[in-house]
Amino acid sequence: MRGLENRIAVVTGAAGGIGRSICRRFIEEGVKILAIDVDSKSLDDLRSKLNVGEERLSTAVVDIADYGRVNEAVEKGAAHFGKLDILVNNAGWDVAKPFLETEPDLWDKIIAINLRGPLNLHKAVLPHLIAAGGGKVVNVASDAGRVGSSGESVYSACKGGLIAFSKTIARECARNNVRVNVVCPGPTDTALLRSFVGEGDYGQKIYDGLKRAIPLKRLGQPDDIPGLIAFLSSDDAGFITGQVVSVSGGLTMSG
């Protein structure tokens, strides 16, 4: 894709299912990465799997809900690479429960990771994109934020909030040549999805039911997501901003 070689990307949730695929694709495209995740062991594993040096991959163990630590890591990353060009807010977390069985402590945690976390990253990274003369933000929301998802009420509210926030930042930062778009995965086979559908026969039943409901008759794989993220981060998408695109095998066909 055009305009990706030697760009610098901040990727959150980099060590998870979809995050790893994004990092792998970015490295293939010549993008250098500041990989952020709260899970230090998985980050180490990502580093050894990608097998590239510090000049192409820098890692930071950070809870994205912690504004101070996010700022610190972003400043360190910007100093390490000399600038920042791309932000991919991919980290996310949830536990599946009907809303009436949830308590405010759980809401706070879900909001802190899925909504407050991306806000922290925007606040820390946008000034660097603007200083570089422009940049790209891709926010990984969810179809839960477009059409709802039973058992994911607060998560859906955060993802819907992230979509609305992205459109507003796309408007506010267009004059700075910063493009902001949203990618909404449908059910994608990662640890997050496995924890949502559950284990054993019951989990398998939900998994198979999802497969039947998806027009393309399979669940998403992590490698289904990065193509669109790379495209939206590239110069090929130079006239696209404020858009929301689902990668869901046709499960959702939002207008």
Ligand X SMILES: NC(=O)c1ccc[n+]([C@@H]2O[C@H](COP(=O)([O-])OP(=O)(O)OC[C@H]3O[C@@H](n4cnc5c(N)ncnc54)[C@H](O)[C@@H]3O)[C@@H](O)[C@H]2O)c1
| In the complex, residue closest to ligand X by CB | 16
Number of residues that bind ligand X (CB under 6 A): 29
Nearer to ligand X, 85 or 143 (CB): 143
Binding track, positions 141-160, relative to ligand X; x by CB under 6 A? -x------------------
Rounded Cα distance, 79 and 187, in Å: 37
- Return all residues near 151 (Cβ < 8 A) that are at least 6 apart: 96, 97, 98, 196
Give all strands (DSSP E) within 23-158, no chain letters: 32-37, 57-61, 86-89, 135-140
Min CB(200)–ligand X separation in Å: 19
Looking at beta carbons, which pairs linking 161-167 to residues 24 or more positions away fall under 8 Å?
161/115, 162/89, 162/114, 162/115, 162/118, 163/139, 163/244, 165/115, 165/118, 165/119, 165/122, 165/139, 166/137, 166/139, 166/141, 166/242, 166/244, 167/242
Q: Residue 164 CB: number of other CB atoms within 10 A? A: 13
Nearer to ligand X, 132 or 158 (CB): 158
Binding track, positions 114-133, relative to ligand X; x by CB under 6 A? ---x----------------
Nearer to ligand X, 102 or 177 (CB): 102
Residues 5 to 64 in contact with ligand X, rule: CB under 6 A: 12-13, 15-19, 37-39, 42, 63-64
| Candidate residues 4, 86, 91, 170; the one interacting with ligand X per rule CB under 6 A | 91
- Stretch binding ligand X (CB under 6 A), from 2-10, 73-81, 191-199, 227-235: 191-199
**Is 155 known to be catalytic?**
yes
Helices and strands in the chain, H and E counts? 10, 7
Q: Which residues are catalytic?
A: 155
Which residues of the shown chain bind ligand X in the complex (CB under 6 A)? 12-13, 15-19, 37-39, 42, 63-65, 90-93, 113, 117, 140, 142, 185, 187-188, 190-193
